[in-house]
Amino acid sequence: MSDQIKLLLYIKNMLSDLIYLNCVIATELIRVTENTAAQRQGEDFLKQSNCKSEHNAINENILNVLNKYYKTPEDSEKMEKLKSHVLDHLKEKQ
């Protein structure tokens, strides 16, 4: 394999990892924001606001972004773990 191809593969893998990490950060940040709002305003505030449905839609979009770029078998395990984790959070809120 040529050095250029190795470099491109390295960059592709690095970008894939960065996309994954950004998706993890984004989904967890939504959860932290909700927890903070619940502590400050109370659980009733969250139940009455549109935030939950909007956050659910944002989380689904985040998972779609990850799914768009995670195509290899090695990626699928990480994808499924995050998807399961995020969906578990969504179930908790309902």
Confidence (pTM) = 0.78
Whether the per-residue pLDDT at 88 is higher than 70: the answer is yes
Q: Which are the contacts of 88, defined by CB distance < 8 A and separation ≥ 6? A: none
Between CA 46 and CA 63 the distance in angstroms is 23
* pLDDT digit string, tens, across residues 29-73: 998 988 898 899 888 887 888 888 888 899 999 988 888 887 777
State residue 48's pLDDT score. 84
Between CA 72 and CA 94 the distance in angstroms is 33
Give yes or no for a contact between 63 and 82, defined as CB atoms under 8 angstroms apart.
Answer: yes
* pLDDT digit string, tens, across residues 6-34: 999 999 889 988 998 999 999 999 989 88
State residue 8's pLDDT score. 94
- Please give the residue range of the domain that contains residue 53: 3-93
State how many domains the chain has. Answer: 1
* DSSP 8-state secondary structure symbol assigned to residue 70: -
Give yes or no for a contact between 85 and 62, defined as CB atoms under 8 angstroms apart.
Answer: no
